[in-house]
Amino acid sequence: MKKPFITKQQAEDLIKQYPTPFHLYDEKGIRENARKVKKAFAWNKGFKEYFAVKATPTPAILQILKEEGCGADCSSYTELLLSEAVGITGSEIMFSSNVTPEEDFILANKLGAIINLDDFTHIDFLEKLVGIPETISCRFNPGGLFQINNDIMDTPGESKYGFTREQMTKGFLKLMEKGAKHFGIHAFLASNTVANEYYPELAKILFQTAVELKEETGADIQFINLSGGVGVPYTPDQEPNDIMAIGEGVRKAFEEILVPAGMGNVAIFTEMGRFMLAPYGCLVSKAIHEKHTYKEYIGLDACAANLMRPAMYGSYHHITVLGKETAECRYKYDVTGGLCENNDKFAIDRMLPKIDIGDILVIHDTGAHGFSMGYNYNGKLRSAEVLLKEDGTSQLIRRAETPQDYFATFDFTNLFPKS
């Protein structure tokens, strides 16, 4: 059974200060999990988690993760600015972008971020802009299918990211010629994997590739970046990943492949977003309408603009009706938002307890790729973000948008001249 990290009483107290809907984050959960990740990879001297900023681009969250020793994985100009603003700087920033605009590379270089190139042609592009830095990373795409125990996890051959295997060798040689001295390798082969084997299997591929690249080019490979993709159990029946087992699996591959090749000093980096944050955030919303037509509907004050994943991917997000945690789920509902878009449904045919107007609904696991994917369709405004602190108090870490924010990018004065 999935349990929210707040009680009905706590939610009611919060709602007195912060009107629904809002995203709520659990500081205690975030810190405990970040410490576990660190412990799981403590066997590796250079280990560092570069939190994927796109998952939760909120300064207070980045600050907590920074305090827990994390860096930041950025892929855009504003994500770089955000990291810099919370004091994550220099090589604590991994710049893993693609289709990168000139100004983004220029800023990444100025901040001293580690640049992780997505493509062979980016070598010339980067050189013309800012020159080739001494430390650089290349993103690898092995193509084909990515399988674990005959299960197809994803199809790298269909993904837009990364260098081919041949381009990795050519790229390393070209970069060395242009002055690069230290190298990293990165790959992201499957998303939201709920399987302890993902990182170890990916590690085997990357470690083997690193050994080959070192033999072929003589490059000094200093780090291997396993990127993101470690998932969380969105549905109640899924078994959560065991990060200790994952760390141990990567260690085994490291001992088997890198150590015998004399590469035992290579640092392991990760760029997790979802695993670091998803379970430690939820969307708190109120039932404001019910509708009885061909189906039974519950309408919330939140909509897909606050949480896009169900509309975009058909993702499951668990829902708890606060105060009815133990009630029998005897009613079948579509739980919807108010966008003029029929895919604005948080749940379809979901069995839930009887929902009454005014009930508080917690939509689970929205801490990553939740608020951040929000948008303004139908003029809907982005919600606030609230931090539930370790001591039980709360802090507004992002205020809700107002109509002024929505209208801030144009000038009304021409339309409505002062009379």
Ligand X SMILES: *Cc1c(COP(=O)(O)O)cnc(C)c1O
Question: Which of residues 57 and 353 has its CB atom nearest to ligand X in the complex?
Answer: 57
* Site membership for ligand X, residue 271 (CB under 6 A): yes
Question: Any residues with CB less than 8 A from the CB of 64 and at least 6 apart, and which?
Answer: 27, 30, 31, 34
* Whole-angstrom distance, CA of residue 305 vs CA of residue 51: 24
Our CB check for ligand X shows the closer of 193 and 394 to be 193
Q: Residue 99 pairs with which residues in a beta bridge?
A: none
> What region, left, alpha or beta, does residue 378 occupy, with left being phi > 0 and alpha being psi -120 to 50 degrees?
left
Show the binding pattern over residues 230-269: x = contacts ligand X (CB under 6 A), - = does not. x---------------------------------------
Residue 118 tokens read as 């997505």
Cβ closest to ligand X, residue 274 vs residue 317: 274
For strand 296-300 and strand 331-336, is the pairing parallel, antiparallel, or unpaired? parallel
Stretch that binds ligand X, among 62-70, 249-257, 273-281, 391-399 (CB under 6 A): 273-281
- What residues contact 212, with CB distance under 8 A and at least 6 apart? none
| Residue whose CB is less far from ligand X, 50 or 207 | 50
Amino acid letter, residue 69:
G
* 96 contributes a contact to ligand X by CB under 6 A: yes
DSSP assignment of 358-413 equals T-EEEEPS-TTTTGGG---GGGPPP-EEEEE-TTS-EEEEEPPP-HHHHTTTS-GG
Residue 229 lies near ligand X (rule: CB under 6 A): yes
Shortest reach from residue 55's CB to ligand X, in Å:
5
Q: Whose Cβ is closer to ligand X: residue 57's or residue 299's?
A: 57
Establish how many alpha carbons lie within 13 A of residue 149's alpha carbon, considering only the half-sphere containing its beta carbon: 5
Joined tokens for residue 350: 């979901």
Compute the least distance from the CB of residue 202 to ligand X, in Å.
12
Query: Cis omega before residue 233 (within 30°)?
Result: no
**Which of residues 83 and 227 has its CB atom nearest to ligand X in the complex?**
227
Is there binding between residue 193 and ligand X (CB under 6 A)? no
Interface with ligand X, residue 227, by CB under 6 A: yes
CB of 269 to ligand X, least distance (A): 10
Q: Which of 40, 250, 272, 303 binds ligand X (CB under 6 A)?
A: 272
Among 71, 228, 249, 279, binds ligand X (CB under 6 A): 228
Tell me: does residue 281 bind ligand X (CB under 6 A). no
Instruction: For the CB of residue 282, give the shortest distance to ligand X in the complex, in Å.
Output: 17
Q: Which of 140, 183, 188, 254 binds ligand X (CB under 6 A)?
A: 188
- Name 71's bridge partners: 50
Report in angstroms how near the CB of residue 286 gets to ligand X at its nearest.
28
Give 254: exposed, middle or buried? Use CB within 10 Å, 0-12, 13-18, 19+: buried
> What's the per-residue H, E or C state across 236-281?
CCCCCCCHHHHHHHHHHHHHHHHCCCCCCCCEEEECCCHHHHHHHE
Beta carbon nearer to ligand X, 196 or 217? 196
**Phi, psi (degrees; rounded to nearest 5) at 294:** -75, -15
Q: For residues 100 and 285, which CB has a smaller minimum distance to ligand X in the complex?
A: 100
Give the one residue of 171, 247, 273, 281 binding ligand X; rule: CB under 6 A: 273
The answer to whether 153 contacts ligand X (rule: CB under 6 A) is: no
Nearest-angstrom CA–CA distance, 364 and 329 = 17
Most distant pair of Cα atoms in the chain: their distance: 80
Nearer to ligand X, 189 or 230 (CB): 230
Q: Taking the complex as a whole, how short is the minimal distance between the CB of residue 317 and ligand X, in angstroms?
A: 15
- Tell me the angle at which helices 122-130 and 165-177 cross, rounded to the nearest 10 degrees: 20
The one segment of 80-88, 168-176, 225-233, 290-298 that binds ligand X by CB under 6 A: 225-233
* Closer by beta carbon to ligand X, 27 or else 271: 271
Q: Which is nearer to ligand X, 55 or 304 (CB)?
A: 55
137 is an interface residue for ligand X by CB under 6 A = no
- Where does residue 38 rank: exposed (0-12), middle (13-18), buried (19+ CB within 10 A)? middle
Query: What is d(CA 372, CA 162) in angstroms, rounded to the nearest whole number?
Result: 24
* The residue type at 189: L
Residue nearest to ligand X (CB): 228
54 makes contact with ligand X (CB under 6 A)? yes
Interface with ligand X (CB under 6 A): 52, 54-55, 73, 75, 96, 188, 191-192, 227-230, 271-275, 368
